[in-house]
Amino acid sequence: IGAGMRYLSDLGYVHRDLAARNILVNSNLVCKVSDFGLSRILEDDPDAAYTTTGGKIPIRWTAPEAITYRKFSSASDVWSYGIVMWEVLAFGERPYWNMTNRDVISSVEEGYRLPAPMGCPTALHQLMLDCWQKDRNE
């Protein structure tokens, strides 16, 4: 999944809807990123972002700056990648469980991050936390 997202980023695309539901897995466990309906090409500038004014956003998978400012970048895809890792290691649990979208937004803004799924190695949870840094340049 990471290699696929790196490939998209290198081509100048932002996916905007990275979630486990959009990962295809074949019988050899090869994963492919799918559902490019929300993807957009960015400018040649590596710090470029795509800003939108309307449409629904998958809140549980979306970086705070993309929710607040509707600004999508490779950094916001990295946030989503951390959520996908959590989904995989939590065996498909719904991120943020039964929280409302409004509660997810306020909790994340206040610094809440998903806890490590049961049995998740510390190093993998740390990688997730790194994906969810408030400062998106870290």
Annotated catalytic residue 17: yes
Which tokens go with 132? 């969810």
- CA–CA separation, 116 and 106 (whole Å): 20
- Crossing angle of helices 122-131/74-89, nearest 10°? 150
User: Catalytic residue among 17, 35, 77, 135, which?
Assistant: 17
Asked whether 14 and 52 are in contact (CB, 8 A), the reply is: no
Residues with a known catalytic role:
17
